[in-house]
Amino acid sequence: MERYAEYHNSGIALVPSIPVGWESKPLKYVAECNKRVLSESTNEETEITYIDIGSVNYGHGICETQLFSFGNAPSRARRIVQTGDIIISTVRTYLKAIAYISEEYNYCICSTGFAVFTPKIGINKKYLFYALNADWFVSDVERRSVGVSYPAITSTALATLKTILPPFDEQERIVVYLDRRTAEIDTLLADHQLQAEMLDTYKLELIAETVIKGLDKSTPTKDSGVDWIGEVPKHWDVTKTKWMFEIVKRIYGKEDRNVLSITQRGIKVRDVESNDGQLAESYTNYQVVNVNDFAMNSMDLLTGWVDCSQFEGVTSPDYRVFRFFSEKVQCHNYYKYLFQMCYKNRIFYRLGQGVSNLGRWRLQADQFLNMRLPQPPVEEQERIATYLDEKTAKIEALITDINAQIEKLKQYRQIVIHDAVTGKIKVTEEE
């Protein structure tokens, strides 16, 4: 790839030099900021298509929108965007929520948590998007943000940050080049992401099939009498949760145990010294969790989880901790797979109640205890768990490898953009 003959100082700390003939200018001189706002007198029945901060992913742009009547829309749904605008989040800047407004989103409404930049005459709109999407500019936004847990930058401060401008004809060539190169990379990314999703789906189907049907598919079966279970091997029992498990709530009263969090990667020891996530003022009212206790977030049946603990510790009093009756010990791993399948396949969700759109869809204790579950002989439970441990480990290793390739492709995509918009490479007509 050809380089420029001469470079000069850019005046930008993160990009020390740019080609001679290129300029660096504060954003406010190349784009107008927040020029269109939805009137407060808008008819309440007017439908708006809304773009929120969480709807924009770094490198992927706008992933979803929401439809509201103006009267029911969030109060922050006020900024009007048009084709060619660039939106940049000014709150939670670590999310790197930056997007180009294509024709599909013309006259949508975005959150006031975005700064909306409209390129001025003489600036290629798509080029400016690529320049503002480059790693060095995103890093500059984060560096200038204020706040630890909720970093933010004002639109005014954002508009003072410098961007890099080649002559207009070069802007156009760079856009053609980057449109083509990023499309090629995005195709590869989509293929890899599809592979990872297919493997994850296969893993979930394998677990569901195995914990309910067993390992030997030639075994005679019987109707379980439970719609989500269906047929089970004839020699298995179908029993209620309350006949195998007891719910236990033991408030510890001290703060000398590990604090445990229930994540979708399992039960983890929490670093209470960090500022990550929501932290309690005191852990004295937390409940005991011992090794081989099960713990579940029964308050959120969409994004919550359940796991069998490998740790001694304490966890939120709002979670449900339960264990096998001492005289009815079964295979912990088998029931871990079964309960996690009930989360993934929305079995718990079907039995829950509450306000789902507010994240308050709960599985009440009586519903949980009266759930009917398959109960293979203990030795068979152990064989199933061992088989699933081996199979899922192999699948997860493949997924991890694919995700590593995805991250490399994302990094490469950003390098391609960075090199083009900083003049590290010279884009010619033939590129």
CATH number at residue 271: 3.90.220.20
Cβ atoms within 10 Å, residue 267: 24
H-run or E-run covering 77: strand 77-80
- Cα angle value 260/264/269 (rounded, 5°): 20
For tokens 């179908």, name the residue: 238
Residue 154 within a domain = yes
Residue 226 confidence (pLDDT) above 50: yes
Residue 285 within a domain = yes
Residue 127 confidence (pLDDT) above 70: yes
Residue 86 within a domain = yes
Instruction: Establish how many alpha carbons lie within 13 A of residue 368's alpha carbon, considering only the half-sphere containing its beta carbon.
Output: 21
Name residue 180's amino acid. R
Give the span between the Cα atoms of 292 and 72, in whole angstroms: 47
| Domain shared by 266 and 347, yes or no | yes
pLDDT of residue 281: 63
Residue 400 within a domain = no
| Domain shared by 129 and 28, yes or no | yes
Residue 392 within a domain = no
| Domain shared by 249 and 335, yes or no | yes
Nearest to 77 by CA among 104, 116, 103: 116
**Most confidently modeled of 54-63, 200-209, 261-270?**
200-209
pLDDT of residue 273: 58
| Domain shared by 347 and 269, yes or no | yes
And the tokens for 265? 């990667």
Give the span between the Cα atoms of 165 and 190, in whole angstroms: 31
Considering Cα of 121, then 126, then 127, then 131, what sign does the dihedral take?
A: positive
Residues 151, 9: contact at Cβ < 8 Å?
Answer: no
Residue 357 confidence (pLDDT) above 80: no
Cβ atoms within 10 Å, residue 88: 27
Percentage of the chain beyond pLDDT 90 is 82
pLDDT band at 272 (very low <50, low <70, confident <90, very high): low
Nearest to 297 by CA among 345, 355, 352: 352
Residue 6 within a domain = no
Q: How many helices (H) and strands (E) does the chain have?
A: 8, 28
pLDDT band at 275 (very low <50, low <70, confident <90, very high): very low
Look up the pTM and report it.
0.83
* Of 81-85, 255-259, 335-339, 389-393, minimum mean pLDDT range: 255-259
Name residue 202's amino acid. Y
pLDDT of residue 2: 85
Residue 149 within a domain = yes
Nearest to 335 by CA among 364, 300, 365, 309: 309
Cβ atoms within 10 Å, residue 38: 15
pLDDT of residue 304: 87
pLDDT band at 1 (very low <50, low <70, confident <90, very high): confident
- Cα angle value 179/112/14 (rounded, 5°): 50
Q: What is the pLDDT of residues 12-47, one digit of tens each?
A: 999 999 999 999 999 999 999 999 999 889 999 999
Per DSSP, the three-state class of 361 is strand
Report the mean per-residue pLDDT for the chain.
Answer: 92
Q: Show the domain range for 227.
A: 215-375
Domain count of the chain?
2
User: Average of pLDDT values for 245-266?
Assistant: 91
| Domain shared by 235 and 161, yes or no | no
pLDDT band at 353 (very low <50, low <70, confident <90, very high): confident
For tokens 């929305």, name the residue: 346
Residue 115 confidence (pLDDT) above 70: yes
Query: Which residues, including other chains, have CB under 8 Å from residue 271's CB and lie 6 or more apart?
Result: none
Cβ atoms within 10 Å, residue 56: 23
pLDDT of residue 271: 73
pLDDT of residue 170: 96
Residue 373: exposed, middle, or buried by beta-carbon count in 10 A (0-12, 13-18, 19+)? buried
* Of 18-27, 217-226, 354-363, minimum mean pLDDT range: 354-363
pLDDT band at 359 (very low <50, low <70, confident <90, very high): low
The residue from 165, 200, 225 where one domain ends is: 165
Helices (H), 271-326: none
Residue 277 confidence (pLDDT) above 70: no
Nearest to 111 by CA among 160, 171, 48: 48
| Domain shared by 245 and 122, yes or no | no
- Cα angle value 188/190/194 (rounded, 5°): 120
Q: What is the pLDDT of residues 281-308, one digit of tens each?
A: 678 889 999 999 999 998 888 888 999 9
